[in-house]
Structure formats: C-alpha cells, structure tokens
Structure 1
Amino acid sequence: MNSYKTLMRKNLERTFQRPPADLAASMDARMENDGTLSFKAFGEPCRVTPRRITLGGREPDDPRALLVSLYARHAGKEAPSIHPLRAFKDLPGSMPYQGAFRTHTEMILLPFVTTIQERQTEIIALFDGGPYPDTGGDFAFLLRPLPKIALGYIFYLPDEDFPPSVTCLFSSNAPAFMPLDGLADVAEYTSRGILAALRSGTG
C-alpha cells in the first residue's frame, strides 16, 4: 500500500505542474475554489489535490487512487472517442497482460451474468454509462470508470448448449489517457465495482 501511495504522490507532483485550467480540461474535471479537482471515478465522487486522492470521501485501500493519478498525469486535451470499441488484445503491447486481463476483468463476472442483467440499470447509472446496442450479445452496456475512458461490456447468458460469456472492450482512444498496464487495472476495478454494486444492493 505504501508503494502505491509513493507512486501516486510522484504522479500528482508532476500533474500539478501543469496550469490548473489545462489540467481540469484534460481530465474533464471541475476545478473547485480551493484548487481541488473533482469528478466521478469508479462510480464514486473523486477529489484530487496535490497530495491526496479520495473516492467517496475516503482514501481507498486498493490501487484505484494510483490509477486516478495515472489518469491525471497522462490525460491530454483530446476528446474521448467511443467508437469503434477495441479489444484489449488489439492494443499494442498487450500480450503480457492478456491472461490476467481475461481472468481479473471478464471471468470474475461469469457467475453473475444473470444478476447483472437484472441489475444493469443500476450499474449503468452508478458508472455514468449507457446502453450499447447492436453488439450481438444478449445484453450490453457502456460504463465510464473515468471521465474520458469508457468500457463496453458484452454479455451472453447461459443456455443448454453454452456457458455464460463476458467481453470487455475499450473506447477507441483510451490509450491516449492512460498507460496500457493502467488500462488493464482500470477494467479490473470496474468489474470489481460491478460486483460490489451487486453485493451492496445499491447503484
């Protein structure tokens, strides 16, 4: 955990060397009167200062704050572009991470596909998402774990012949706002957020 905080603070130190207005525009964030950047991240209110990142009013005990700091450091003024969505395996340099991505982002959702379908309206609202039609899946949606990064989830329900299936895709220019290994972790913690929403009964 201490290593996460050390890296996060180094990212924030470099982030806040940029002009505040440019920084807010790049992150698609609101600059508060006290200089705090605020936006929604991983389904929770996020506040970023030169020394601290909070989600839902607290410092997270997982790598999400580090991921937010990577987003803050790397996001540019480019507008987000959703389509065409891209598979993780199609992102340059993704080969070393593909197995972990499949396991930690997609496979962890497989036992819950039916429940996710029932609760998709809540999940979409939690992550400031929307529908994702014409995918060929039984159902699908877009989620925004960070303001300029969208994920498309495509689900197939189980039937007599096939088990359930989950595919997670990235908005087309997501690599413009986050390094590749960070993108893999963003997807993992978005999937974990879906499961947390199912457990909590809130969206």
Structure 2
Amino acid sequence: MINSGEGFRLPDQRNFELATQRTLELNRSRFLATQDFNKICQNSGAVFQPPFIQLEYFGFKVKVDTRNAAVTSPDTDLSLREEALILHYLLKADRTPVLHEQISFKELPEGANYQPVFYNRVLKGLIALYTADKAKLSLSALSLGGKKTDQADMSFLFQALPRLPLWLVFWQGDDEFPPEGNIIFDRSISHYLDTEAITEICQNLGHRLSQKTP
C-alpha cells in the first residue's frame, strides 16, 4: 500500500466494508475541522452556497453539507468509497491550474511501483469492455459525459471533478499485438488526489462504464 500520509486509503480487501467506512469517517472529520469552506471551494473549483458545497462528479451534480460532511447527489447513487473520494479531493485541492501536459500512471508519485495493481484493478477490465463491444463502450462513455478525442484508435475525455480531466484511450491492436487501453492524466492531478485516490477514481470510472455496457 502506498504511504500517502493522511491521504486516501484503498480498503483492505479482508475488511472491505469496515475499512471503507473508516476512510469516510476520517475524511469527514478532517473536512469538518477545516471550517474555511470558501478556501476549499477556491482551491477545488467547487461552489459554496451555504450550507452546501456544490460540484460535479463525472457530470453528476453533488453537494456536500458543511454541517455534517454528508455527500449526496440528486442524479446518482454514490458509494461510500465515492463519498470518501470526493471529500479527499476537496481537502487536497490547492488551486493548481490544469497544466495541459499529459502523463501516465507510471509518472505519478510511486506510480511505477504500483503499476501492476493499477493494471489489474482498472485497465484489465476496461480493455475487456473495449474488446467485447467497442460500439456499446462508446455509447456508455458518451452517456457518462465523455467527449470523443482523436487520440489512439478510440478515446474519450472525462471531466471527473472540476479540475480533474481524465483521458480514456484504446488501441485496437493487430495480428501481432493485442488490444491495449490506458487512462492518461494532466500533470496537475497530484495536487488534487494522491496516487491511491487516483487508482480509486479510475476504478470508479470503469465500474460505471461496465454498468452502462451490458
């Protein structure tokens, strides 16, 4: 597991529900202790309409109640992991602008060591969706707010959070090379999520795409 100080923690698979709840409660406590909600919004690109902080998550409207740190959405059901992730984003954001410089997971802090886990948890499933039915995956990506780009053989840009773009890219492969897929980030992403949280938001993207791709 990555040593990310007070950052996001992926749950231990042996105690999944308990660890998820603990991560959420810790982030709620840190959020409520911060109190400077105007600064949080300035740093994260969210909007403060007391008592709520409002932002979008993959195009879904989300509000965070500053009185109790409850994270809700009128547009979708959020998992406990997603609630914890959104709070983590608000707490870590430091107002760094999008740098318009793309990087891979390996270029993140400790990303090279964590790459095999990222592949197994995220990329393997996305590549399977791509190879099973490209047309359905494309429709699913568009319905989740993805915008087609001209990278690779098929690619989409998602605005995961206000200052957090993600590029989902696929290569079709040929007789010699199998299909491949990847998620690309803006170099500023580590100012908004730590490396484990980046893995988590990518895993959430894959999960939501798989729900929309029967």
**Could you say which TM-score interval applies, normalised by the shorter chain?**
0.7 to 0.9
Aligned counterpart, 1:8: 27
Q: Indicate which of 107, 117, 138 corresponds to 1:100.
A: 117
Contact residue 124 and residue 143 of structure 1 kept, 8 A: no
After superposition, the CA RMSD in angstroms is: 2.3
Are 1:166 and 2:185 counterparts?
no
Query: Post-superposition, which runs of at least 4 consecutive aligned residues in structure 1 deviate over 6 A?
Result: none
Aligned counterpart, 1:44: 60
**Inter-partner Cα distance in structure 2 for 1:31 and 1:57:** 19
Aligned counterpart, 2:160: 145
**Inter-partner Cα distance in structure 2 for 1:40 and 1:94:** 26
The amino acid across from 2:81 in the alignment is: P
- TM-score by structure 2 length? 0.78
Which secondary structure state, in structure 1, belongs to the residue aligned with residue 101 of structure 2?
A: coil
Structure 1 pair 30/66, CA: closer, same or farther in 2 (3 Å)? same
The amino acid across from 1:186 in the alignment is: I
**Structure 2 unaligned regions, length at least 5:** 1-16
Which secondary structure state, in structure 2, belongs to the residue aligned with residue 173 of structure 1?
A: helix
Aligned counterpart, 2:82: 64
Contact residue 141 and residue 209 of structure 2 kept, 8 A: yes
Deviations 1:68-115, CA, capped at 9 Å, x for gaps: 01101011222223x221011111222342111111111111222153
- TM-score by structure 1 length? 0.82
Q: Indicate which of 85, 102, 109 corresponds to 2:102.
A: 85
